[in-house]
Chain A
Amino acid sequence: MTTLNSILTGRRSQPHMLIEVLQDVQELYGYLPKEAMSAVAQELGIPLMEVYRVACFYKAFSLKPRGKHVFTVCTGTACHVRGARLLIDQVKGQLNIEPGETTEDGLVTIVNVNCVGACALGPVVIQNGAYCHHMTPGKLRKAIDKTRGKKKKEERAHA
């Protein structure tokens, strides 16, 4: 099992490992807890300020707890041209949250990033690390419904 200790094993006192360690911590907890950041700073031998600065700089790191399913909507130039705005509008209407927020039940988090480097496949949405290409509002709605998995069945029962 991965723990903070096992992440740090073999990387202690190596400041250049900071981003890798933070990535692993993010994977372990789903976000970067303050205590973990303090521990990382101490173990790698870098000022806490530096860790905090790096964690704030990259969109890939989150300081707030994230939901079970993370949808990353690319709003880079190519994806924007191909209608990433519609995807964001779809999410806002469906889940009633702004990009960067998590639903109240803690299931879905929506993040918008500026480019994920897959412009030919745009608009791109990353669902828990899996790239979904040529997204449309309809496809996105189905994907989100699937993660919540309740509404559809209810509708079918009524029909």
Chain B
Amino acid sequence: MQQYVTLKIDDARVQAIKGASVLDAAMASGICIPHLCYVPVLKDSGACRLCIVEVVNDGRTKITASCTLNAEDGMVIRSNTERIRKLRKNIAELLVAQAPNSRAVQDIAVRCGVKEVRYPFRNDNCIQCGRCVRYCTEYSKANALGFVGRGKNRHVEFALGFRRDFCKKCGFCTEYCPMSVTPCGGAMKAGEGRLCANCESQIAMADKFSGVCVRCELGRGFGCVRQTYV
């Protein structure tokens, strides 16, 4: 028999299956916490830090990633406070600066209220969310992809530098990559520290109703729970 726990997310009483993460619980009840590295079928790694929430404990709040936080009975979570919005915006800005040519990252940035990016663009085209690596090791069990190197040299690579026979060629590494979502028309270019005009309507919407779902491309492609609910 499935056991349930009751917790409070943004003053709403939410029931979640025991062992589920706070992010799972929030998404299932229609509270959108922005997330990027989270894939429902895979283990959570907490790589992108976009899904940060405040956990209230004895009047004190602690900020932590909600995808790796287990839902417990009587938990009080705040996902949309001033402090969280500020931190989340900063994280989103850093992600856009790292990889500005992805629609998925752009959408998430808009959702987090980013209008202008204060950091120099790196154009790396990889934000090391680990979606491809986790899919390869956990789901398709091919172990062809992995993180190599450390520190700023950490990157995704095939074993010994080229595609091996044990790669199943399932193609899901590219399918799951946020970079594979085509950038919108006037994509953000290096040096132009702002979002393009196509994103402007979304910015206006996000401005008017803060925390609203912007129907992000990432959600559409990967079956965001929110998208299927609406």
Contacts and interface: CB of A to CB of B under 8 A. Distances in A.
Given A37-B160, A47-B159, A52 B146 contact: yes
Interface residues of A, number: 12
Contacts of B158: 49
Interface in B102-161: 137, 143-150, 158-160
Contacts of A60: none
Interface in B47-89: none
Given A38-B160, A49-B144, A53-B148, 9 more contacts: A48-B164, A49-B143, A49-B145, A49-B146, A49-B158, A49-B159, A50-B146, A52-B146, A52-B160
Contact of B143 (A34, A48, A56, A57): A48
B133 to A, nearest CB: 9
Given A48-B143, A48-B164, A57 B159 contact: no
A66 to B, nearest CB: 18
A4 B150 CA distance: 28
Given A47-B143, A47-B159, A52 B148 contact: yes
Given A49-B143, A50-B143, A56 B159 contact: no
Interface of B: 137, 143-150, 158-160, 164, 166
Contact of B149 (A34, A38, A48, A57): A57
A49 B166 CA distance: 10
Contacts of A47: 137, 143, 159
B226 to A, nearest CB: 34
A57 B160 contact: no
Contacts of A53: 146-148
B148 to A, nearest CB: 5
A48 B160 contact: yes
Interface in A58-116: none
A112 B181 CA distance: 41
Contacts of B146: 49-50, 52-53
B144 to A, nearest CB: 7
Contacts of A49: 137, 143-146, 158-159
Given A47-B143, A49-B144, A34 B150 contact: no
Contacts of B137: 47, 49
- Which of A37, A48, A49, A57 has the most CB atoms of chain B within a 10 A radius of its CB? A49
